[in-house]
Amino acid sequence: MNHDDTMSRRLSYASHNSLEGLLQRGRGLGAVRAAQDPAGAAPLVYDGIRRDWKWHEQGDGRAHYQARLIRDLDLSPTPVVDQLMGDEGEWSRASYVLELLALAGSDEAREGLRAYVREGEHWVRVLESVATDWPAEWWEDLGDVARRRIDREEDPLQSCEPWIRFGMAPAVAPRPSLDGLSDEQLLALLAADGTEYNTKVASLRALCGRPPVEGLIPLVPSLGIADGRRTMPWLRRTVVDHLGALAVPAAREWAADEREWLSRLGMDVLANHPAPEALPGLVTELAEQWQRRDWCGPDETAKRLARFGSAAAQAAPVLRRLWLRTPHSYERADYLTALAAIDPFGLEDMYTESLWDCEERSRLLGIASAPLQPQTWERITVLRDDPMEFPSVRVAAGARLASVAGPCVPSAKTVPGSGASAK
């Protein structure tokens, strides 16, 4: 399905070259163009908060992008405050944008959310959310409101803020931590028949946060769910993403196993570490995905092609087109990373535009690789000091700026998007 021309799920995306289409996709160039005409962009910015343009709730990022547009274009938060009274999607999107705007200094955003806690339908979720990100002095005086309203709520409270501070949190037994165990002790827990299921899952999670442990590989066939259809939680991430190439020899045997979950796990490992003879097929696969406008899947193909480096140069034009047009904003970082491995020349404008992108991973790529010219120096400084920004981005921006003595003076100013076009 072509998302530029036909209905996609609930919405039809505008052209990727238009301001509307850029904002719908969360592209950095959209933010840059919007700043050139704030009044003209305002309806599109508000529409991006009212209507959900995210492709995947757990993937695409939008709130930081939209909150920055409201602030940087000097737009009123009032329509976003009014949106709190909308349906499920509308109020939740508005809530997060307002949380961020409050952190950036908007009194209207802060008071709008506080008023919603006092009177709004979904006040519990909003209060839990602001208690996570806001200073305590902004919400701790709402304890009496919470105590008065909580009797009308059916769902049990979580053991988290603000309920802990309000003395309303349920008693929860502390979860034992396995972080202090050695690799050998964790492997022994996974190998023992008498180990409880939750302890095995916790062991896998602990191993996933450490350097790859090859001793896990022979245990993998025993770590399926009891019904024989699925892997234990954390096993796929630990094996496919963490062990990676170390698991390839064993994966050849897993791929031929009669157990579907183990066969699928083995094939995933092998697909992520293709042999040289797989290159032509992957190039063809990416081209066909582009021709079909099949936006789900090219990011995985791109990751596999990246392993071949410059030998996969034939795929570079398609990767550039995907970066420009995909409605899956969270995949842009994968396409740019693949291009850096395959054909790294001429990516300066893409890195620069990524500094305004809606996705955290894309901004991190821009911080690491955008040429340090006055425009990018200024933008990286903004990201370092932005109270709405993710800590990882702020830290990376600070490190990049600290790594050089001062901003460079270029011979020509870089304009985001000026060199990133592709047919």
* Domain end call among 243, 272, 301: 272
CA-to-CA distance for 43 and 49, rounded, in angstroms? 10
According to the model, what pLDDT value does residue 252 have?
94
Q: Is residue 164 part of a domain?
A: no
Helices (H) and strands (E) in the chain, counts: 23, 0
* Domain range enclosing 103: 19-152
* Domain end call among 272, 296, 324: 272
Together in a domain, 148 and 30: yes
pLDDT of residue 288 exceeding 70: yes
> What values do phi and psi take at 224, rounded to 5?
-90, 165
pLDDT band at 417 (very low <50, low <70, confident <90, very high): low
Average pLDDT over every residue of 213-242? 90
Half-sphere exposure of 27 (CA within 13 A, CB side): 29
| Residues in Cβ contact with 235 at an 8 Å cutoff, skipping those fewer than 6 apart | 204, 220, 223, 265
Secondary structure of residue 116 in the 3-state scheme:
helix
Task: State the chain's mean pLDDT as an integer.
Answer: 90
Q: Which amino acid makes up residue 46?
A: Y
Together in a domain, 195 and 247: yes
Together in a domain, 105 and 213: no
Together in a domain, 212 and 335: no
Q: Is residue 122 part of a domain?
A: yes
Together in a domain, 23 and 146: yes
Average pLDDT over every residue of 348-367? 98
Q: pLDDT over 70 for what percent of the chain?
A: 90
* Domain end call among 272, 304, 333: 272
Together in a domain, 283 and 390: yes
How many Cβ atoms are within 10 Å of 111's Cβ, its own excluded? 14
Range among 44-48, 86-90, 415-419 with highest mean pLDDT value: 44-48
The 8 Å CB, 24+ separation contacts for 262-271 are 262/220, 262/221, 262/224, 262/231, 265/220, 265/231, 265/235, 265/236, 265/239, 265/240, 268/236, 268/240, 269/239, 269/240, 269/243, 269/244, 271/300, 271/304
According to the model, what pLDDT value does residue 422 have?
44
DSSP 205-266: HHHHTSS--GGGGGGGGG-B-TTSSSBPTTHHIIIIIIIGGGGHHHHHHHHT-SSHHHHHHH
CB 359 within 8 A of CB 330: yes
CA-to-CA distance for 398 and 327, rounded, in angstroms? 30
According to the model, what pLDDT value does residue 121 have?
94
CB 24 within 8 A of CB 327: yes
| Cα 216 to chain centroid, rounded | 28
Average pLDDT over every residue of 290-298? 92
CB 422 within 8 A of CB 339: no
Q: Is residue 409 part of a domain?
A: no
pLDDT band at 423 (very low <50, low <70, confident <90, very high): very low
Together in a domain, 265 and 345: no
Q: Is residue 321 part of a domain?
A: yes
According to the model, what pLDDT value does residue 174 have?
66
> Token pair 């603000």 is at which residue?
162
Together in a domain, 188 and 301: no
Together in a domain, 143 and 212: no
The domain total for the chain is 3
Q: Is residue 198 part of a domain?
A: yes
According to the model, what pLDDT value does residue 6 have?
37
